[in-house]
Chain A
Amino acid sequence: MKSRTPASPLRSSFTAARALLALCLLGLAHLLGNAGCSSGAICYRNTDCPNASDCKQGQCVRRISSEAGGAGASSVDTSLAGAVDTSQTPDAN
């Protein structure tokens, strides 16, 4: 018959790790459920947009040099980084 041994430090570490992981997952699930999570179509950072584009009002807006498009000119770039940019529509702003 096997005798019982005290819980090892390694085992208690695993228990603590599991508890911490569960807490983190619960926290993330709570945030996702209550705050909502965007689909990724909205940019939150300028680096969400392709090169030479900036994030303005949640959309990627292409920067146009003053020589090419006049001062302050820009166009909406509806694609986020990694997608093919097909939009060249001038921005009314």
Chain B
Amino acid sequence: MFLASPARAEGYLLDGNFGIGSGLEGGDSGTGQFGWRRARLRIATGVDLRDDESQADALGFRAFAEIEKRATLGGEARYERWLSHNVGAYGGVIFVATPETLFGGSVGMDLVIPFGKRAGLYLEPSFSVLPVGSDLPSSGPLIWLLFSAGIKLGL
């Protein structure tokens, strides 16, 4: 965060990012017993938009693809609150759109290790609960405990 070059006039500052992630996935297979396993590997890309007059607040948009088993495509919209230049937290909605659907909420935090003026490595632990969607075999929610890492660039 705060990697983007300053805007000349009032407007939005833009950061882009690209990373990979995995972690744990928990769910009920329909047997009534909750279980955990490794979450599918995913790649994610997106942007963070922040008002140049209130740089601690930002809106983030992500698109991700799970690239194991049957590949899925999803997205996330989040409100981000940056506690310092390199540490932020967020909450938002997350969904999988195809080939089956999932919908839920997500919270997490970001840590950015800057490399130079406009680039950085981001580390992102997150927690998501997805209680709705056609990808669920039972009425129980799917839970993701994910850890993602990647490159963040000021655009």
- Chain A residues near B (Cβ < 8 Å): 10, 13-14, 16-17, 20-21, 24, 27-28, 31-32, 35-40, 42-51, 54-58, 80-82
Closest CB pairs A-B (n = 9): A58-B29, A44-B27, A55-B137, A81-B69, A47-B70, A38-B37, A57-B30, A45-B135, A38-B35
**A42 close to B87 (CB less than 8 A):** no
Q: Quick check: B69 and A28 within 8 Å, CB to CB?
A: no
A42 to chain B, nearest CB (A): 5
Q: Could you list 9 examples of A-B contacts with CB < 8 Å? A: A14-B113, A31-B36, A35-B34, A42-B29, A44-B27, A45-B100, A45-B137, A48-B70, A80-B69
Considering only CB atoms, which chain B residue lies closest to A80 in the complex? B69
Q: How far is the CB of B151 from chain A (nearest CB, A)?
A: 14
Decide: A36 near B35, CB < 8 A? Known: A14-B113, A24-B147, A57-B30.
yes
Q: What is the CA–CA distance of A55 and B87 in the complex, to the nearest angstrom?
A: 40
Q: Which B15-37 residues have C-beta < 8 A from chain A?
A: 23-31, 34-37
What residues of chain B have their CB less than 8 Å away from a CB belonging to chain A?
23-31, 34-38, 69-70, 72, 86-87, 99-100, 111-114, 123, 125, 134-137, 142, 145, 147
> How many Cβ-Cβ contacts under 8 Å join chain A to chain B?
100
Give the distance to chain A from B59, nearest Cβ to Cβ, in Å: 24
User: How many Å from the CB of A6 to the closest CB on chain B?
Assistant: 18
In Å, the complex CA distance between A5 and B30 comes to 59
Q: What residues on B are CB-neighbors of A42 within 8 Å?
A: 29, 35, 37
Residues of A near B111 (CB, < 8 A) are: 13, 16-17, 20
